[in-house]
Amino acid sequence: MINLFRTYNPLNILWLGILLFLLRVGYVYNAPAKIDFTYLEPFARMLAPKAYHYDFPPLVNITLAALLVFGQALLVNRLTNQFGLLGKPSFLPALMYVTLSGLFTPFLVLSPPLVCNFLLIWMLYKLFDLYKGDDAKSITYDLGMIVAVGSLIYFPFIYLFLSIWAALLLFRPFYWREWIIGIMGYATVFFFLAVIYYLRDKLPEFSDIWTPLASKFPTHVSITSYNYLILIPVVLIFVLGAVRIQQVFFRSYVQIRKSFQLLFVVFLITGLSFYVKAQFSLTHFLLCVVPLSIYFAYYFLYAGVRWFYESLYFILLAGIVYFQFNTF
> Could you tell me where the DSSP H helices lie in 83-175?
92-100, 112-129, 136-153, 161-171
**Least confident interval from 20-34, 152-166, 181-195, 308-322:** 20-34
Measure CA 140 to chain center.
20
Tell me if 28 sits within 8 A of 62, measured CB to CB: yes
Residue type at 287 in one-letter notation? L
Q: Is the pTM of this model over 0.85?
A: yes
Tell me if 154 sits within 8 A of 41, measured CB to CB: yes
Domain chopping of the chain, boundaries: 2-325
Give the pLDDT mean for 113-118: 94
pLDDT digits (tens, 9 = 90+) for 240-278: 888 887 776 666 677 788 889 999 999 999 988 888 776
Strand partners, 53: 38
pLDDT digits (tens, 9 = 90+) for 116-174: 999 999 999 999 988 877 778 889 999 999 999 999 999 999 999 999 999 999 988 88
**Rounded-to-10 torsion of CA 99, 100, 104, 105:** -50
**Least confident interval from 32-36, 78-82, 290-294:** 32-36
pLDDT digits (tens, 9 = 90+) for 143-152: 999 999 999 9
Can you tell me the distance from the alpha carbon of 33 to that of 327, in angstroms, rounded to the nearest whole number? 15
> Which stretch of DSSP H or E encloses residue 54?
strand 53-54
Number of alpha carbons in the 13 Å side-chain half-sphere of residue 239 = 7
Q: At what angle do helices 289-302 and 306-325 cross, to 10 degrees?
A: 150
Cα-Cα end-to-end distance for the chain: 29
